[in-house]
């Protein structure tokens, strides 16, 4: 076992993959010599050489297109977009081509591309550096989307993504890169894409979240349960956004009768909207309260101290949980 934080878990996953598969190449803006803006690729160029870990030009559209060409020629490119909000120029190649290529060619050309993106707020960054746009990618057929919150899941999901024959977007919450450490197995292992993780069991309310908000939800639940010893909350970390673990969520809601979905992305047309609609269709007769969510607002992510008001935080999540628990038909 190694004790790693999230950013070191990324490095470990990439190193293991590059040792296992000679066709894996890693590149992005400053991803080579500097090791990336968060140092997630640090040391890879020195170990594997400039042909397998290198800097890309400042053109996300170009290096996404190059990754597509590599993938249909039997390579496994892993590209790093410096920040999620800088990915707009790459959307045509990712959504319009990578996600469609296997269907377009009737299976002849799978596209095993992994696109890593630091995402989300909490580090007081500039415009386009604190976005949470996972719903845009999850909405597109042919694209898988994951968002790990722990070092164990980060390494396992990245390795599963590289192993996948389909393009996978890996969103890495910047707020959690160096927030805590966890024991992580050495060598190769995977975390199955599409399977959630039940952080804790409970009977009175289901809370579904992913990414940085797993930590915020745990803090809110700890405060709620300390004040109300007879109440227990079930907390699910989705880990995988597309596909998502419907079975785990439905089973939990049928037990608790209440649901709160938490994420920092804006509210409208979001992951929470999809989960709530699906739960309403499948679990309506089990509900004890309206389905609810705690999310960011429908605005451009504010700068600096303003982002603290935009993001869900433990106190805001706590209020939402108490409202659901106190609701009476």
Q: Is 29 exposed, middle or buried (0-12, 13-18, 19+ CB in 10 A)?
A: buried
Claim to verify: residue 103 and residue 226 sit in the same structural domain? no
pLDDT at site 309 = 84
- 21-66 tens-digit pLDDT: 999 999 999 999 889 889 999 999 999 999 999 999 888 889 899 9
Confidence of residue 124 (pLDDT cuts 50, 70, 90): confident
**What is the spatial distance between Cα 221 and Cα 171, in angstroms, rounded to a whole number?**
25
Claim to verify: residue 78 and residue 157 sit in the same structural domain? yes
Assigned domain for 41 exists? yes
Domain that holds residue 210: 197-326
Instruction: Tell me what the pLDDT averaged over the chain comes to.
Output: 94
Q: Which of 129, 263, 310, 313 is catalytic?
A: 129
The whole-model pTM stands at: 0.95
- 232-288 tens-digit pLDDT: 999 999 999 999 999 999 999 999 999 999 999 999 999 999 999 999 999 999 999
Residues 6 or more apart from 151 whose CB is under 8 A from it? 4, 5, 6, 8, 9, 181, 182, 184
Q: Domains in the chain: how many in total?
A: 2
Assigned domain for 189 exists? no
Claim to verify: residue 174 and residue 73 sit in the same structural domain? yes
Confidence of residue 130 (pLDDT cuts 50, 70, 90): confident
Q: Helix/strand/coil (H, E, C) string of 189-216?
A: CCCCCCCCEEEECCCCEEEEECCCHHHH
Q: Of all residues in the chain, what percent carry a pLDDT higher than 90?
A: 84
Assigned domain for 233 exists? yes
Count Cα atoms within 13 angstroms, Cβ side, for 318: 16
* CATH code of residue 103: 3.40.50.970
Output the CA torsion sign for 312, 233, 146, 185.
Answer: positive
pLDDT at site 303 = 80
Q: Residue with structure tokens 């010599």? A: 33
Assigned domain for 222 exists? yes
Q: Is 313 a catalytic residue?
A: no
Q: Do the Cβ atoms of 191 and 156 come closer than 8 Å?
A: yes
Claim to verify: residue 296 and residue 166 sit in the same structural domain? no
Q: Which among 138, 158, 184 is the end of a domain?
A: 184
């Amino acid at each position: 076992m190694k004790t790693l934080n999230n950013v070191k878990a990324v490095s470990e996953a990439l190193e293991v993959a590059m040792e296992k598969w000679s066709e894996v190449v890693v590149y992005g803006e400053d991803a080579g010599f500097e090791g990336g803006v968060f140092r997630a690729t640090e040391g890879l160029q020195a170990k594997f050489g400039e042909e397998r870990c290198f800097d890309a030009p400042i053109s996300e559209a170009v290096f996404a297109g190059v990754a597509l060409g590599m993938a249909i020629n039997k390579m496994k490119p892993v590209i790093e977009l410096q920040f999620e909000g800088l990915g707009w120029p790459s959307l045509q190649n990712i959504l319009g081509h990578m996600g469609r290529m296997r269907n377009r060619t009737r299976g002849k050309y799978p596209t095993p591309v992994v696109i890593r993106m630091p995402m989300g707020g909490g580090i007081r960054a500039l415009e386009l550096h604190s976005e949470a746009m996972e719903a845009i990618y999850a909405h597109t057929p042919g694209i898988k989307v994951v968002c790990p919150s722990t070092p164990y899941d980060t390494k396992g999901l990245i390795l599963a993504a590289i192993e996948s024959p389909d393009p996978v977007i890996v969103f890495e919450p910047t707020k959690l890169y160096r927030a805590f450490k966890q024991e992580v197995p050495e060598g190769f292992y995977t975390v199955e894409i599409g399977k959630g993780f039940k952080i804790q069991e409970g009977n009175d309310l289901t809370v579904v979240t992913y990414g940085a908000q797993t930590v915020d939800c745990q803090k809110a639940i700890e405060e709620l349960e300390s004040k109300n010893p007879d109440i227990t909350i079930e907390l699910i970390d989705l880990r995988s956004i597309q596909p998502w673990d419907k079975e785990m969520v439905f089973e939990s809601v049928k037990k608790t009768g209440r649901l709160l979905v938490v994420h920092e992305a804006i509210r409208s047309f979001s992951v929470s909207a999809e989960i709530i609609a699906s739960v309403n269709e499948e679990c309506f007769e089990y509900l004890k309260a309206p389905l609810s969510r705690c999310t960011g607002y429908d605005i451009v992510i504010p700068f600096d101290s303003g982002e603290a008001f935009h993001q869900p935080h433990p106190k805001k999540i706590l209020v939402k949980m108490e409202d659901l628990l106190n609701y009476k038909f």
